[in-house]
Structure 1
Amino acid sequence: MRHIIIGTGAVGGVVGGLLASVGKDVVLVARGRQLAALRADGLQVTTAAGTVRVRPVVAAGPDDVDLRAGDVLVLAVKSQDTADALAAWSDRPVAGGGTAAERLAVVCAQNGVDNERAALRRFARVIAMCVWLPATFLEPGRVSAGGTPVPGVLTVGHAAAPPTDADDVLAGYAQELEDAGFRAPVAADVMAWKYTKLLTNLANAVEALCGSLRDDDVRDLAARADAEGRAVLRAAGIVTLDDAVHDAARAGFRVDRLPGQERGGGSSWQSLARGTGSIESDHLNGEIVLLGRLHGVPTPVNAVLQRRARQASAAGARPGATTAAELLTEAART
């Protein structure tokens, strides 16, 4: 099995780097300064277990990779970049005949719940991954993850009824992740895991806009976003995990501060801090807004978070430039 990591940022870098560190066959797909750094010096991955530097094959895109049977494409780009990635890779030829979409599995190692639907429009074999991985992009060529006793919990499962040979691919993929040090349970109801994670990700925009999740107004804002999300999912008939099942899967897992590193925030916080010019709020808070509109459930807090996070990213705002009180007031006027 060869792991083609499409998007070597925080999550893709940690997953691909740790797989490579135990001898797995990995291709890291990157662009810009990250691509240049990987080609020059490889990838440095720091976890609670220590620091490793790996030098797997590096590619700038699908033209640099000759696909072969048994490859697994791992989508680790942000949700807003999924459509472009799928378009670039799905029709690439595979050695022996057929295309990537026809013959290869694609793993959605991403937040949100719409990536799998987008992938299933093109790929016959789609694996959903619920990512509990506190990964940080430190600088080009350097990533970290502070999870312990494992770097992350990566629950995987089929996003839809799979072809007859797909169970073996899924089991093999989960074992490769376990070999690299992750906890990688296989779940038949993996999308319930992802919807449960979506509820926690509604606070990503709160953290990015307000800078932390610590004061009372900020916690109130996050709690209101969560309450809207739960009401929407109930109205839509979407199943989430029982709390006991969720807690058992992450039993003993915690995030530690790594020596010499100050972890800022989650993925949306990092998007603003790095000035990437895009953010996931349309696919996180926006998913709740969409479902709310479809099922007649008001979602004023998530609508404000979605819009204000998108605007902050486009304007190049830094994390913490907005107060929770301001956002609460705006939501109350909606």
Structure 2
Amino acid sequence: MRYIIIGAGAVGGTIGARLHLAGHDVVLVARGAHYEALRDRGLRFTAPGTTHEVPAPAVTGPDGIELGPGDVLVLAVKTQDSAAALDAWAPRPVTGGGTAGERLPLLCAQNGVENERLALRRFRRVYGVCVWLPSTYLEPGAVAAPCAPYTGVLSLGRYPSGEDDTIRRVSADLAESVFLAPVVPDVMRWKYAKLINNLANAVEAICGPLTGDEAQALAARAKAEGAAVLDAAGIAHADAAEQAALRSGKVEMSPADGVERGGGSSWQSLTRGTGTIEADYLNGEIVLLGREHGIPAPVNETLGRIAGNCARERRAPGSMTPGQLTTLVDAAVSPSTPR
């Protein structure tokens, strides 16, 4: 199996690096300065106690590679970039006949729960990946993953449910590559649990590290509201105890010397000034479900709106204090009565 990592940033680069180091065939897909660095020097991958130079080939998109029937596509872009990536890759021909959408498996190694639905419109064989993989894009051509003894947890399953020989083979390859990679029959149940955790990403992006009581309280409010909406919608999600039991003592933070651990994916988007952020598909998912089921979600609606504004205006993380953000959230939760 050859793994084509579409979006070789922090998460995608880490998955690609670990697979390559374990002897698997990998192609990294990137753009701009990151692609140029990968092309010219390979990927520098830093993990606890070590730094590896990973000479995996790199391309900018489907035009740079000939697809074969043994390829596995791993989608690791942010959700706001998924549709464009899927549209580019699905119609590509595969050696022996047919297209990628018709013949190749596609794994969604992404936050949120919308990517699999987008993919299934274009690909026949779609698999969900619940990603618990702290990692950081350091600079063009360099990523770091600070956890040990396993690099992260990648829970896998066919979308919308079930398993098959393909995902079991992928799981075995990832297990050889320093990941916990359990195959689960209900992968979306795990992805909805991760969605709840990711609701705090907007707070971190807007206010900076979640170290103070006010920031932590905001994160807790967003998660509690999200869980209540999922429960009202009848959507199952793994609980905190299940998640902790899966990774406890196996995936522990152990940052490498000289490598500063940044924030989560939304924090990194603001840091890099990309102009976009995935809050629409994290906090916005809760808002959508709340509206569909008649459950107000003012906390997540406010967080998503402000995070989106921060991205569009290219504000750096921490542009607002937790107190300022709390005031805006409180006003949305208990709006004053118009006169």
Instruction: Note whether the superposition's TM-score is higher than 0.5.
Output: yes
User: Are 1:285 and 1:303, in contact at CA under 8 Å, matched by a contact in 2?
Assistant: yes
Equivalent residue runs for 1:219-230 within 5 Å: 219-230=216-227
Equivalent residue runs for 1:115-130 within 5 Å: 115-130=115-130
| 2:175 maps to which of 178, 185, 189 | 178
User: Are 1:113 and 1:194, in contact at CA under 8 Å, matched by a contact in 2?
Assistant: yes
* Displacement of 1:193: 0.4
Show structure 1 runs of 5+ residues with no match: none
1:243 and 2:222 are equivalent in the alignment: no
User: Are 2:193 and 2:239, in contact at CA under 8 Å, matched by a contact in 1?
Assistant: no
Q: Please give the alpha-carbon distance, in whole angstroms, between the structure 2 residues aligned to 1:30 and 1:76.
A: 11
CA RMSD, Structure 1 to Structure 2 (Å) = 1.1
| 1:218 maps to which of 207, 215, 218 | 215
Could you say which residue in structure 1 is the equivalent of 2:337? none
SS in 2 for 1:220: helix
Could you say which residue in structure 1 is the equivalent of 2:147? 147
Q: How many percent of aligned residue pairs carry the same amino acid? A: 56
1:83 and 2:83 are equivalent in the alignment: yes
SS in 2 for 1:74: strand
Could you say which residue in structure 2 is the equivalent of 1:263? 261
Show structure 2 runs of 5+ residues with no match: 333-339
* Displacement of 1:185: 0.6
- Counterpart residue type for residue 222 of structure 1: A
Q: Identify the range of structure 1 (286-295 vs 242-251) with the bigger mean alpha-carbon deviation.
A: 242-251
Q: Please give the alpha-carbon distance, in whole angstroms, between the structure 1 residues aligned to 2:199 and 2:243.
A: 17
Q: Please give the alpha-carbon distance, in whole angstroms, between the structure 1 residues aligned to 2:323 and 2:240.
A: 30
Equivalent residue runs for 1:1-334 within 5 Å: 1-160=1-160, 167-252=164-249, 253-334=251-332
User: Are 2:47 and 2:255, in contact at CA under 8 Å, matched by a contact in 1?
Assistant: no
SS in 1 for 2:179: coil
User: Are 1:148 and 1:255, in contact at CA under 8 Å, matched by a contact in 2?
Assistant: yes
User: Are 1:6 and 1:28, in contact at CA under 8 Å, matched by a contact in 2?
Assistant: yes
* Displacement of 1:133: 0.5
- Counterpart residue type for residue 308 of structure 2: R
- Counterpart residue type for residue 239 of structure 1: A
* Displacement of 1:331: 2.1
User: Are 1:48 and 1:151, in contact at CA under 8 Å, matched by a contact in 2?
Assistant: no
Deviations 1:176-210 (A, max 9, x none): 11111111011111101000000000000101110
- Counterpart residue type for residue 32 of structure 2: G
Q: Identify the range of structure 1 (248-257 vs 39-48) with the bigger mean alpha-carbon deviation.
A: 248-257
Q: Please give the alpha-carbon distance, in whole angstroms, between the structure 1 residues aligned to 2:331 and 2:48.
A: 45
